[in-house]
Structure 1
Amino acid sequence: MAFLGKTYKFVGQENFDTFLKVVGVPDEKIPDILKFAPDFKLTKDGDTYTYATVRSSGPAEVKFQSGVEFDDVIGEDKTPVKSTYTVDGNTVTQVIKSDKGSASFKREFNGDDLVLTITVEKWDGQAKRFYKAA
């Protein structure tokens, strides 16, 4: 798990705008969200992982244990969801479930590269965001 403790910086994306439309983000908010590119770091202490993001509105952290579902919130509107992160080798997958459906955020670490693949149950496509270790 060489990716633990490294800071990753956003470098690009594919189909993220389409993903945002599919999940119902209003058209006028999409340009600002497309610019959202926080740095992040994943660390581990015992059985607990911390996923920390650094963004313009300040830092945010999510603590989790692999495979254990917990109450979470997503988005600017703080939509309540159930999240489960699973750590498997160099892949960290987050599955979220809400009354609106489910989505998967699969983070695949390969050396200094990270690819985040996003899928949702009501879309047969996928969005990708790309990061590099700083």
Structure 2
Amino acid sequence: MAYIGKTYKFQKDENFREFLAHLGVPADKVEYLLTSKPSQKLEKDGDNYTLTTIDASTKEMKFKEGVEFDESITPEITAKTTFTVSGNVVTQVQKFEDGRSITLKREYSDDQLVVEITTTGWDSTARRYYAAV
């Protein structure tokens, strides 16, 4: 788990605009998300993990593997979220009240993080690429 505690900085994405369009994200938020260059870091303390995303603000998500919790996506939207950790792959599944779900599969290596994003009713995959810093 050499990726634990390492910071990864956003580099590029594929199909992310299409993913956001499928979700119905408002245009102003789409542009913000497409131009932001966040960093991510995963830390572990015993059985507890903290996933930190740093951009214009810092968002910390604390979780235990396999334990569902309420994740605040926006002030109006909450998901039931579960993480699993298998080697260098950390998978996050967000389930929403309307029956939709989003899966974010983070695959870590020494020099990069690739996040594959899929969702209910969309027959494609978005990818976001991060470089270790």
TM-score by length of 1: 0.93
Q: How many residues align?
A: 132
Shift in Å, 1:27: 2.8
Gaps of 5+ in 2: none
Query: Identity of paired residues, percent?
Result: 48
Match of 2:92 in 1: 94
Match of 1:34 in 2: 34
Match of 1:111 in 2: 110
Runs of 4+ in 1 over 6 A off after TM superposition: none
Match of 1:131 in 2: 130
Which whole-Å deviations, capped at 9, do the CAs of 1:57-86 have from their partners, x for residues lacking one?
x211111011111111114x4511100011
- Relative to structure 1, is the Cα distance of residues 109 and 45 closer, same or farther in structure 2, using a 3 angstrom cutoff? same
Aligned-partner Cα distance in 2 for 1:65–1:59: 20
Q: Which amino acid aligns with 2:93?
A: V
Q: Which amino acid aligns with 1:107?
A: R
How big is the alpha-carbon RMSD for the aligned residues of Structure 1 and Structure 2? Answer: 1.1
Gaps of 5+ in 1: none
Which whole-Å deviations, capped at 9, do the CAs of 1:16-43 have from their partners, x for residues lacking one?
0000000111234322211122111100
Aligned-partner Cα distance in 2 for 1:82–1:37: 26
